[in-house]
Chain A
Amino acid sequence: MDTAEKHIINTLDLSIGYASKRATSTIAQHINIELHEGHFVCLLGKNGIGKSTLLRTLTKVQPQLKGDIFIKSKKLVAINNTELSKNISVVLTEKLPENNLSVFELVALGRQPYTNWIGNLTDTDVDFIQQALKQTNTLHLANSKCFELSDGQLQKVLIARALAQNTPIIVLDEPTAHLDIHHTIETFSLLKKLTEIHHKTIIISTHEINLSLQLADELWLMTPSNFISGKVEKLIETDKLDLLFDSDLIHFDKNLKQFIISGK
């Protein structure tokens, strides 16, 4: 129990996937996570390996098939929506439905777990919203409409919304998928800063392997055969990164710390 206390998220022999009445399709199994508070985690894996499924399962969007998930040592299934919303906030890949929300209004939605029945904002709520806008460097956009924003700006505003929700854990599904290299690096360093300064625990799924190796405190690798987690250096040393792609085309070069094309 003592060791579990220190973990903000841990899982025991977790299996993820999709179950229907007729068939169960397991996407990954034997997932054992022990995540410390304030860590920046990058979840790596090839397309279709189940990164989103894992994040969806950890955030209770879909149920696990087997095993247990604990958030701050409490079983995820025993945590109700409201309590969960004060512990985990998310930034999703899905496109926002068309709306006429201003940036301020969108970020303010992050305060919903704390506001009264009709959603009135208190001074505290406004403070949190302002802080979130400042931290993401989007304060100047507060009165703009969300549909006017560029992809890079919108991503920062969505992160601001998650920050306004004031949760110890933030989960982001491919936050840099549509961004250019400048905005990608900006997003990564913002997330890193949030873990360092504000002690947030941040989990992202990403294909930015190089940036992940440089900035992550911990990597979660989803390989075709199993789930591996650990510190970056240790994973490089034990050749675990090579397991990500079962391909003859590329391999991981330990010295360069990046994937290179094989046979050149």
Chain B
Amino acid sequence: MISNVKSYKITFLILLLALVIVALINLSLGSVKIPLKQLLAILLNKPAIKESWEIIVLNYRLPKAITAIIVGSGLSISGLLMQTLFRNPLAGPFVLGISSGASLGVAILVLGVSFLGIHFNSFAFTSLGQAIAASIGSFLVLLAVMVAALKVRNTMSILIIGLMFGSLTAAIISVLAYFSSANQLQQYLFWSFGSLGNLSWNEITILFSVFLIGITLVTFIIKPLNSLLLGENYAKSMGVHVVKTRNLTLIATSLLTGVITAFSGPIAFIGLAVPHLTKLLFHTSNHKILIPAVAMSGAIIMLVCDSISQLPNTAYTLPINAITSLFGAPIVIWLLIRKRKINY
């Protein structure tokens, strides 16, 4: 008998369980160790033994964990969308030049202030200021790529145009960096390390709202994305409006990646690798399964990376960008060698 749609219920249940456990571990770890019972009490809005624990969990760790979940799932979904759209396993959320645009925005704000002779130094060093600069930067680069996309019918050309914009902005940033002070350079470097903390509840609300809009758009392109697995001509013959689907995919990706990069910096690796890991786990190309699966795996991996970056029981925090690649890259290499072949 034919199995109509293979049941993934158990795999999803395991993922969900893993997500909850990883989230709890993430919340209990840090420079101050909080027992699980107390942690649950705080989360369920009951009084804890120490008031300081409540403050730590509710004002610091919970926002960070929520940010990690949004960042992990958003970047992973974006990566999956780009890999399907460009039919290229090397595509990730940043291929459209989104992160370069964000970097350029922050670089101009942080490095360019003295260069341009404008005095808003104090604003340049706040996280909100950098988020706004990153948003404007990624939006402008993305706008340029989208305008190019309207003129170019070939999807591969858009990929290359995105990469070219990336090189272009990197060059501009080098020039800006050359003329900057050590202090400014350090500030820019800190942003480029990526960071999940430091977000206020208000900022998380903004992040989450845009994330929701992006996810809503994604649900509407699941069906056409599946037919795009057979190539654009087949998709068209099955009634898919290819250009509309492409533009919706680009918009959803830019919203997700743009807002995430604005608030947490350019976080490497997750968007590229999580879709591959998920495909190895689920053995499917069906986006109806893959999108929720990728979102959950992304959230889990981001939470794990964040827990590691805290260096538990110490006051130090490593740059999240270093952790994602340091631990992630070898895992993907190992999986690929073991499986030898990945299909998309």
Contacts and interface: CB of A to CB of B under 8 A. Distances in A.
A115 B231 contact: no
Contacts of B343: 98-100, 145, 147
A1 interface: no
Contacts of A99: 229-230, 285, 343-344
A100 B239 contact: no
Interface stretch (B102-110, B220-228, B252-260): B220-228
B344 A98 contact: yes
Interface string B232-255: 011011111100000000000000
A100 B238 contact: no
Interface residues of B, number: 31
Contact of B284 (A94, A100, A113, A118): A100
A172 B241 CA distance: 21
B239 A81 contact: yes
A112 B344 contact: no
Interface string B284-296: 1110100000000
Contacts of B229: 97, 99, 101, 109
Interface in A98-129: 98-102, 104-106, 109-110, 112-113, 115, 117-119, 121, 126, 129
Given A100-B344, A143-B3, A85 B233 contact: no
B285 A105 contact: yes
Given A97-B87, A109-B226, A119-B288, A59 B283 contact: no
A104 B2 contact: yes
A130 interface: yes
B226 A90 contact: no
Interface of B: 2-6, 87, 219-220, 222-223, 226-227, 229-231, 233-234, 236-241, 279, 283-286, 288, 343-344
17 contacts: A61-B233, A85-B237, A94-B231, A94-B233, A97-B229, A98-B343, A100-B283, A100-B344, A105-B284, A112-B240, A115-B223, A118-B219, A119-B288, A121-B4, A139-B2, A143-B3, A165-B238
